[in-house]
Amino acid sequence: MTVHVAQTARSLPAPLVVIYHAGASKSVLEAWPEATIVSESHPGFKNWYTHLGADGLASLDEILAQAGLTQADVSHIVLVGFSEGCQGVRTQMLAGVVPSAVLAVDGIHTRPEAWADVIARARAGEAAATVTHSSIQPGTYKSTTQIAAELIAPATEQPVENDGQPYPMIGLYQDGLFRVAGFAGADAPAHVYQGNVVLPRELAIIRDELAGVAAPTPWGASSSGSSPWLVPVIAAATVGALWWVLRRKR
């Protein structure tokens, strides 16, 4: 449950970017120089990202404490997950955190309904939500491409012009501030490319999108459960999940 503070904002309040399963590389720091950026990474396939606690993730309160911040120091909460780290983003949202933005990089394979609330807010311009996927087909479980398609159904990604990158973007969908970007590449290096190149590039886009977005109220949840923010957050999550179930039954 060790949180690495990679960059501290020079002026407060400032956005707090929390990255799971990826370090804060130089390109990530350059993508958002005004933000406080922290990361939390654990060995893969050990269920670290599925829950909070000593054998799981730090709570939002613990992240703030380790970064030397208070709630008043934070203008926006931005949750970022790469690969398995997308579970960390989901875990924080299910714990009651209401982010201003989420970035899920080639890592949503299950439980798309958990993302329904933030996606609905992004469609309305009240948050930013970006989901990316490679073209990898795991075979034994749903691919990130399949989940991305479910998130935007019945709409589909639209083809985009090849930008000449090693693993170019091949499809894009956008509704308000909800964005789904698909990329070529069905091998392991394509997945690594998502973390090294796509993540900082999409993070910079979110930085620009949030310039005109007010922070949600409430924007987080106390690990003790005593926060007055928690009840409306749980209600919103319940409504979001119900919306997803009804939508899938149509």
pLDDT value of residue 43: 78
Tell me how far apart the alpha carbons of residues 89 and 22 are, in angstroms, rounded to a whole number.
Answer: 12
CA distances 27 to 77, 124, 130, 200, 215, Å, are 20, 30, 18, 6, 25
Domain 4-249 has what CATH class?
Answer: alpha beta
pLDDT per residue of the chain (250 residues) written in tens, 0 to 9: 579 999 999 999 999 999 999 888 999 999 999 999 999 988 776 788 899 998 899 999 999 999 999 999 999 999 999 999 999 999 999 999 999 999 999 999 999 999 999 999 999 999 999 999 999 999 889 999 999 999 999 999 999 999 899 999 999 999 999 999 999 999 999 999 999 999 999 999 999 999 888 888 766 554 434 333 333 333 443 334 333 433 444 3
Tell me how far apart the alpha carbons of residues 119 and 131 are, in angstroms, rounded to a whole number.
Answer: 10
pLDDT value of residue 70: 94
Q: Is 103 exposed, middle or buried (CB count within 10 Å of its CB: 0-12, 13-18, 19+)?
A: buried
Token pair, residue 134, equals: 């490679």
pLDDT value of residue 74: 96
Give residue limits of the domains in the chain.
Answer: 4-249
pTM: 0.87
pLDDT value of residue 24: 86
pLDDT value of residue 218: 64
